[in-house]
């Protein structure tokens, strides 16, 4: 099973947190089969909004949610 990663982002209430202002407006960048690919997508999305401190993109480790006991190797 690939270690799936979700890249998403949106406007946050506090630039230091992850409390998204409008969940309906979340930008779902995509689901990726490995961290390196997800990181490239995250970097690209985050770079487009680098001047907007209230926009935040994150990488969600979906494999940890789906299979919490999966080894990291």
Q: What confidence score (pLDDT) does residue 67 get?
A: 72
Q: Find the mean pLDDT for residues 18-46.
A: 95
Residue 55 Rama label (left phi>0; alpha psi -120 to 50; beta) = beta
Q: Could you tell me the pTM of the whole model?
A: 0.83
Q: What is the pLDDT of residues 26-35, one digit of tens each?
A: 999 999 999 9
- Give the dihedral sign, CA 50/52/55/56: positive
């Amino acid at each position: 099973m690939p270690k799936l990663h979700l890249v998403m982002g949106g406007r946050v209430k506090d630039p230091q947190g992850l409390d998204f202002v409008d969940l309906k407006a979340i930008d779902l960048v995509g689901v990726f089969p490995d961290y390196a690919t997800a990181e490239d997508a995250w970097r690209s999305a985050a770079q487009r909004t680098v001047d907007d401190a209230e926009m935040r993109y994150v990488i969600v480790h979906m494999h940890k949610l789906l299979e919490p006991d999966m080894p990291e190797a």
